[in-house]
Amino acid sequence: MGRVMSTIFTIAIMFMPIGTLFMTIFSFALSNVSFIVIGCAIAILGGLGFSYSKKQF
């Protein structure tokens, strides 16, 4: 489990500068609504995955 989390955090740190550059260049496209929509989509997908794993296993 430790190696998995370490790998995930390492990859996330590697992509942070790209995300910062993207947010700087496309700052005109950002709004609070987009963050709410993305957050809700992540929560829904997480809930679906969780319920699927409980039903499957």
- Report pTM: 0.55
Q: d(Cα 11, Cα 6) in Å, to the nearest integer? A: 9
Predicted confidence pLDDT, tens digits, the chain (57 residues)? 789 999 999 999 999 999 899 888 988 877 889 889 999 999 999 999 999 998 877
Q: d(Cα 18, Cα 51) in Å, to the nearest integer? A: 33
Residue 32, pLDDT score: 87
Cα–Cα–Cα angle for 32, 37, 43, rounded to 5 degrees: 125
